[in-house]
């Protein structure tokens, strides 16, 4: 919010915000609104304030990809958990898409949906509690790679075999874990460079007087060991 106030004082022409707290950033965005400075959000949406356009990965679609992959890997049956972080709008979208995909498979039951705050140590703690409460767990969806890697840490500490973990972001540590054949089997991949270029494009269109949508989704994909090995061998 202090940074936005500084931008307002400098009378910039537009502000791009990537909120760490979707709700908490509202007062800052409203300050820009009062100064008639257009605000665009990238990657993570704001829940309050007037935003011209939100540009981000299609997180609902990404969640569906994760759910579909896990459902195939489990052959439509099993007990699964979600390591969540509902304070962030993009995470809510990911979990929505994931649950939509899982709902198509009545043989799969979500037995736990717990908060890991999107950081590895908290996710480790959350996953530990889930594993202790569910001795027959088959799968875990981590809403980002810190969540997935924290879950992986817990699975390895408990020496639990057969659990399939799906992550989100395809960061280098997660990609390494997938290549090594750990319980982390796949990761939804985003294209942040495209989010950035699309954001600049929408700002230009706005200043050109064009009508632009309130949201602009950017495609996502999913990678597993086979896909990562193919990229490495190119």
Tens digit of pLDDT for each residue in 48-103? 999 999 999 999 999 999 999 999 999 999 999 999 999 888 899 999 999 999 99
Question: In the chain, how many H helices and how many E strands?
Answer: 9, 10
Residue 200, SS3? helix
Q: What are phi and psi of 15, to 5 degrees?
A: -130, 130
Give CA–CA dist 231/154, Å, rounded: 29
pLDDT of residue 234: 65
Q: Return the percentage of the chain with pLDDT > 90, whole number.
A: 93
List, in order, residues 6 or more apart from 155 with CB less than 8 Å away.
127, 131, 140, 163, 165, 183
Helix (H) or strand (E) holding 110: strand 108-115
Q: Which two tokens stand for residue 161?
A: 């075999």
List, in order, residues 6 or more apart from 217 with CB less than 8 Å away.
56, 57, 58, 61
Edge-to-edge strand ranges of the sheet holding 184-189:
108-115, 78-84, 139-142, 164-169, 184-189, 221-224
Give CA–CA dist 134/125, Å, rounded: 14
The mean pLDDT of 139-152, rounded to a whole number, is 98
> Would the pTM count as exceeding 0.75?
yes
């Amino acid at each position: 919010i202090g940074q936005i106030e500084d931008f307002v004082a400098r009378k910039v022409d537009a502000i791009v915000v990537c909120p760490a707290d979707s709700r908490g950033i509202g007062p800052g965005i409203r300050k820009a609104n009062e100064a008639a400075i257009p605000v665009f959000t990238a990657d993570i949406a704001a829940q309050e304030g007037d935003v011209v356009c939100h540009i981000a990965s299609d997180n609902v679609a990404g969640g569906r990809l994760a759910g579909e992959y896990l459902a195939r890997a489990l052959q439509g049956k099993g007990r699964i958990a979600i390591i969540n972080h509902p304070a962030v709008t993009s995470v809510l979208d990911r979990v929505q898409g994931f649950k939509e995909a899982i709902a198509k498979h009545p043989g799969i039951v979500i037995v736990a949906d717990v908060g890991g705050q999107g950081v590895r140590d908290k996710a480790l703690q959350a996953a530990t509690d889930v594993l202790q409460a569910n001795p027959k767990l088959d799968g875990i969806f981590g809403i980002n790679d810190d969540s997935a890697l924290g879950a992986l840490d817990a699975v390895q500490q408990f020496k639990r075999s057969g659990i399939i973990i799906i992550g989100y972001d395809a960061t280098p540590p997660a990609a390494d874990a997938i290549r090594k054949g750990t319980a982390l089997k796949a990761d939804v991949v985003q294209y942040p460079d495209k989010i950035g270029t699309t954001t600049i494009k929408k700002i230009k269109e706005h200043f050109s007087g064009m009508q632009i949508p309130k949201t602009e989704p950017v495609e996502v994909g999913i990678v597993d060991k086979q896909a990562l090995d193919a990229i490495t061998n190119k």
